[in-house]
Amino acid sequence: MDHFETLKSQLREQLEQISGFVARLENWARCYKDRGSHRGHCRSLEHNYKSPQCWHPEEPKIPVDEIDASLVERTFAHLPWWVRVAMAAHYIYGGRWPSNDFVRRAACRDLRCHRSQYSERVELSEKMLSNRLQLTGKRIRIT
């Protein structure tokens, strides 16, 4: 019974690490999703207009930890180019949803692999990024 409890606690710790890593990648995706696509706005007064009619309440925004997102972004500099392409396709552009086959096909074209290898590339990229972030986390202490 004691061995079973030890295995159970180890599995629980691994699940917490995985969910924490996925949360960091989702935070990175929220932070970098709109970078480069927003070109600004016109300088007219109409830009600041807010309609008094409101049909539905605004959804609460999930806070973004920009420091951690920039740490993840800087970690990509130490990895091969295809790791960032795979992670961006999967987390930023929605390749993790099975219905979004267009993103997967475009990512596979950029990754120079077959569509059947997409999930393998993403898993390998996640593992490489996770290992590099652990190594970086041991060297950099953010308090």
> What DSSP string runs through 30-44?
HHHSSTTT-----SS
Total domains in the chain come to 1
Given this model, what pLDDT does residue 143 score? 44
pLDDT tens readout for residues 7-45: 667 667 766 666 788 888 888 888 888 665 555 556 666
Do the domain assignments include residue 132? yes
Given this model, what pLDDT does residue 42 score? 60
Contact by Cβ (8 Å): 64, 72: no
Q: How far apart are CA 105 and CA 95, in angstroms?
A: 9
Give the range of the structural domain holding residue 117, as residue numbers without chain letter: 2-31+64-139
C-alpha neighbours within 13 Å on the C-beta side of residue 106: 11
Q: How far apart are CA 104 and CA 98, in angstroms?
A: 9
Do the domain assignments include residue 43? no
Given this model, what pLDDT does residue 15 score? 61
| Cβ-based neighbour number of residue 50 at 10 Å | 6
Given this model, what pLDDT does residue 45 score? 65
Do the domain assignments include residue 54? no
Do the domain assignments include residue 118? yes
Do the domain assignments include residue 131? yes
Q: How far apart are CA 101 and CA 58, in angstroms?
A: 30
Do the domain assignments include residue 111? yes
Given this model, what pLDDT does residue 36 score? 55
| Cβ-based neighbour number of residue 52 at 10 Å | 4
Is the per-residue pLDDT at 135 higher than 80?
Answer: yes
Q: Is the pTM of this model over 0.75?
A: no
Average pLDDT of the chain?
79
Do the domain assignments include residue 48? no
Given this model, what pLDDT does residue 35 score? 66
- The conformation of residue 82, written as its DSSP 8-state character, comes to H
Do the domain assignments include residue 39? no
pLDDT tens readout for residues 44-63: 666 666 777 777 767 777 78
Contact by Cβ (8 Å): 107, 117: no
Q: How far apart are CA 30 and CA 69, in angstroms?
A: 9
Given this model, what pLDDT does residue 17 score? 67
